[in-house]
Structure 1
Amino acid sequence: MTDVALITGTSSGMGLHAAVDLARRGLTVVATLRDLSRATALKAAAHDAGVELDVRELDVVDHEAAARVVGDVLAEHGRIDVLVNNAGRGSVATAEQLTMEQIQAQLDINYLAPVNLAKLVLPGMRERGSGRILTVTSVGGAVGQPFADAYCGAKFAVEGFMQSLAVVAERFGVQVGVIEPAAVASEFVSNVERPTATGAYGPLLDAYLSRTAGAFSQAQSAASAGAVIADLATRTGFVFRNQTSDAARNFVGVSLADGDGERVLGFTRPWIA
């Protein structure tokens, strides 16, 4: 039976490329995006690659809608073997510039949405004794960065959740991991929320944005990052923490001596032995 993959955030960027690449590898791919009117590029890429996608609308922060989509996919395809939580959004602001509503919005899309989808697919995977749940986080899930307070906070949170879940889920044959890109050429930057009033933080923010622009001028291509996601979703070998480029590995290494997360899992596995 053909494996079924559900991937979110596929209107552009690495999500689009990952969806097409997964289909090219022979999986049945359910590609979701928040607005179906933005599916033109995705459908064109699938056509050019000679593959078919099951394209569906899903605003991942709508938990009831997520439950309906997962239920429909299970009813129509019979299973979900791979979940790729790719949908996300950035935020550039420091604590004083952020409203609690903005912080909540970051948690909603970057933390609670992937958690909800993981919960929705886990019962079927557990009962079948197999499955793979991958969440695209960021190097900002391992390294806190200035003016990324809400974004990094949400990414740290989802990495902690998934790392805690991983050692329990593997007892039932379900593999859980995170994927940490560094700068990727995509629409992500243009969608980042920025403060309108900078005040005393203006010079610091300007310096940060200048450094960020330099990083994105040498960004990994979305196609390359998407191919890495597809590879991690399908390859035989599996580790918890994965990066999409050498730049990402070097960046994460600043904070994590445990580069692939296996040392932490080795430490916590005996806790439930």
Structure 2
Amino acid sequence: MDTIKIAVQKSGRLNEDSLRILKDCGVPIDNGKDQLRASARNFPLEVFYLRNGDIPQYLRDGVVDIAIIGENVLFEKGQDLEVAEKLGFSKCKVSVAVPKGSGYKSPADLQGKRIATSYPNTLSHFLDANGVKAEMHIINGSVEIAPNIGLADAICDIVSSGSTLFKNNLKEVDVIMRSEAVLAVSPHIGEKQAAILEQLRFRIRSVLRARDNRYVLMNVPDGKLQEIIRLLPGMRSPTVLPLAEEGWSSVHTVIPQERFWEVLDQVKQAGAEGILVCPIEKMVV
């Protein structure tokens, strides 16, 4: 049977999030301890657990057909590779940070300085775009300690919460790029594997839509029905059902997560009562 080969990060948060979205897509993976390859039980998919920085080359060589990988890694090592889908999780930034006491005002202040980084290509692109020449020290891991030990004047590294910068007395001064997990595709993917990829993308989109929306039920006085319906941003038109109590209706709708609290405040003020909010498992449109 034809299968599609997908690479995911061997360990860490991206690994966990990648396996979670596959599971939510109905593709659970049986993976024993320290196993480097595993197969899905009910979908033609085989998982390769690889080091994050090696994944772009595996895609380029056609060893794997697709991969879940951070945009920051693709920008650094695989700008030639196609992105099939943005996945919305494992978000972070690649940023420039300097000691808190620094008088940094603009990228021009990096002229002639020493910058420690694990992202030399990304940093070079940023420096070139700003007409700055600086000395790079390429470090794999623990980049944030470089200024404290006198190795560098600044760093360029991944920033998630900023707590690591704070602990090392650094401050973020420039965001070079914002990153999230993406589904990347090998240029050598076969026709049958491309068809399986489309099936997987359909499932992924359904899961991501569900994560971004909430199902809401509310009781509404009939006299306020049209006013509240106008406030709802849901799919096409809400479902309206009469309640056993005369003069009241039950309104069912879907509200985007980003507008959720704003809309709830509005409909409550307009007269909605008994508002229930439910997560959505899958959402097919």
TM-score w.r.t. length of structure 1: 0.31
More helix by share: 1
- Name the structure with the higher strand share: 2
TM-score, L = length of structure 2:
0.30
Q: Considering only CA atoms, is the larger Rg found in Structure 1 or Structure 2?
A: 2
